[in-house]
């Protein structure tokens, strides 16, 4: 057992008491991680992403009471537009949070409070949508289960503003770990937008392993966003599990802009007829950073529709991995599924590994996948230069145009504007790019 595994498993033994069903999930997570260990390149789904830099590090649980001001949160996460819960090293900080102006019957707050006050709402879903089997980092999260975010909407409830969950990993001089959790349950006919923002602060290395479970009831709609904007000293891993009922609509949108190693695992099950799922992703890498996106979309019943669109921008010696799998189970006729992965390489040393997969066990379906890997269009670059646009600005305009398609798919205006600024801020002439956009 390497130092990473020893330090994180030891921390799991110090978690507080939980209701019986949650304690069982925690025990199962600990056993699963002890058996699986940190994934290596011998594991098929990790063969392009080495976690060797983590194995030699010893992590301690981040201090939930770490010093953090409301001004710092607003500077890093942007102004608050609606309900906002702020979690520091996995625990809710009420003095930095606000959950006002919610419709009657809605519950937005701490998962620890949900376990104690609303166990009947939590128990049917917690740990059942994001499975542990074969997923070591999701198991590690469950082994440390104690708090997180809980969002529950009764049938027909529609909050007027996005619900924002800000997860901050604050590292001290030592390497610090945070394992935040989120459970979102949208009752039949309800609608909501949930925005997760992941930040890391402090001088030491920060390790984040997050798990989000989305339960989308019959006829409900959930728009879910994750924004990872962490420094090069951070390691970020996110698992999203979702299950949809009849005629339910789900969209997920992940944006990865930072961290030395970043990985997103999204697993969506269309369990009700007529369900629709849209999986979107945008990632930018440079230096020797690695970003890894894996997804599994499972069509379990007839007449489901799914779309996946992921775009990446790579510079330096960075690497991106895309593994997308669509599974159409027996009897899931009239399925319509397609996935697309496009990558823009800005240097000769950047690398992309794309692994689209289709598993079809039903007749009368329409499924496909595609992918592109290319460089900046020389003709477009020449056109801009011929109109007097300086080289760096011309390159930045073309790069931003490539990313803009994904930014424009963000529905909340404040978040769309912030993502546009974050993307442009990583370009050599970002300010002028935003003026021209």
pLDDT tens-digit map of 106-163 = 999 999 999 999 999 999 999 999 978 889 999 999 999 999 999 999 999 999 999 9
pLDDT band at 437 (very low <50, low <70, confident <90, very high): low
DSSP 8-class letter at 38: S
Q: How far apart are CA 381 and CA 271, in angstroms?
A: 47
- pLDDT higher than 90, residue 286: yes
Q: How far apart are CA 169 and CA 73, in angstroms?
A: 12
The answer to whether residues 30 and 145 touch, using CB atoms and an 8 Å cutoff, is no
Give bridge partners of residue 236 from the DSSP assignment: 208, 262
| Per-residue confidence (pLDDT) for residue 112, from 0 to 100 | 95
What predicted TM-score, i.e. pTM, was given to this entire model? 0.96
The answer to whether residues 93 and 63 touch, using CB atoms and an 8 Å cutoff, is no
pLDDT tens-place string over residues 202-258: 888 999 999 999 999 999 999 999 999 999 999 999 999 999 999 999 999 999 999
- pLDDT higher than 70, residue 13: no
Averaged pLDDT for residues 58-63: 90
Q: How far apart are CA 434 and CA 437, in angstroms?
A: 5
- pLDDT higher than 80, residue 434: no
Q: How far apart are CA 364 and CA 373, in angstroms?
A: 31
Which conformational region is residue 74 in: left (phi greater than 0), alpha (psi within -120 to 50 degrees), or beta? alpha
Tokens 């894996």 found at: 294
- pLDDT higher than 90, residue 172: no
- pLDDT higher than 70, residue 10: yes
pLDDT band at 81 (very low <50, low <70, confident <90, very high): confident
Q: How far apart are CA 396 and CA 384, in angstroms?
A: 11
Q: How far apart are CA 290 and CA 258, in angstroms?
A: 9
The answer to whether residues 279 and 297 touch, using CB atoms and an 8 Å cutoff, is yes
Q: Which of 168, 171, 169 is nearest to 204 (CA)?
A: 171
| Per-residue confidence (pLDDT) for residue 14, from 0 to 100 | 61
């Amino acid at each position: 057992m390497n130092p990473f595994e020893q330090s994180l498993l030891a921390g799991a033994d110090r978690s507080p008491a939980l209701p019986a069903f949650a304690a069982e999930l925690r025990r199962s997570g600990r056993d699963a991680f002890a058996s699986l260990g940190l994934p290596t390149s011998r594991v098929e789904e990790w063969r392009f992403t080495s976690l060797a830099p983590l194995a030699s590090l010893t992590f301690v649980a981040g201090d939930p009471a770490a010093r953090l001001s409301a001004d710092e949160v607003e500077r890093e996460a942007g102004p608050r537009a609606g309900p906002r819960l702020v979690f520091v090293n996995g625990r809710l900080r009420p003095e930095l949070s606000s959950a006002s102006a919610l419709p009657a019957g809605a519950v937005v707050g701490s998962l620890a409070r949900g376990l104690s006050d609303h166990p009947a709402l939590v128990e049917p879903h917690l740990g059942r949508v994001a499975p542990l089997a074969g997923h070591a980092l999701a198991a590690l999260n469950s082994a440390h289960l104690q708090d997180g975010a809980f969002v529950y909407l009764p049938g027909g409830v529609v909050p007027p503003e996005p619900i924002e969950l800000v997860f901050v990993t604050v590292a001290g001089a030592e390497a610090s770990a945070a394992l935040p959790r989120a459970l979102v349950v949208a009752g039949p006919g309800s609608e909501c937008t949930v925005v997760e923002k992941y930040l890391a602060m402090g001088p030491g290395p920060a390790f984040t392993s997050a798990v989000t479970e989305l339960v989308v009831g019959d006829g409900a709609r959930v728009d879910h966003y994750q924004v990872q904007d962490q420094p090069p000293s951070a390691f970020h891993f996110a698992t999203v599990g979702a299950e949809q009922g009849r005629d339910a609509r789900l969209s997920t949108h992940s944006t990865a802009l930072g961290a030395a190693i970043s990985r997103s695992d999204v697993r969506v099950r269309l369990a009700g007829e007529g369900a629709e799922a849209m999986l979107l992703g945008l990632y930018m890498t440079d230096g020797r950073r690695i970003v890894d996106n894996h997804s599994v979309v499972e069509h379990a019943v007839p007449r489901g529709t799914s779309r996946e669109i992921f775009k990446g921008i790579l510079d330096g010696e960075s690497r991106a991995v895309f593994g997308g799998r669509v599974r159409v189970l027996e009897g899931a006729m009239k399925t319509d599924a397609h996935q697309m992965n496009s990558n823009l390489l800005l240097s000769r040393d950047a690398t992309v590994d794309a692994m689209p997969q289709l598993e079809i066990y039903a007749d009368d379906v329409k499924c496909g996948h595609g992918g592109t890997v290319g460089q900046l269009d020389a003709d477009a670059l020449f056109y801009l230069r011929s109109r007097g646009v300086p080289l760096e600005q011309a390159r930045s305009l073309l790069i931003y145009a490539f990313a803009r398609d994904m930014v424009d798919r963000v529905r909340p205006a404040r978040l769309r504007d912030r993502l546009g600024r974050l993307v442009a801020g990583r370009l050599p002439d970002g300010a002028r790019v935003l003026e021209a956009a």
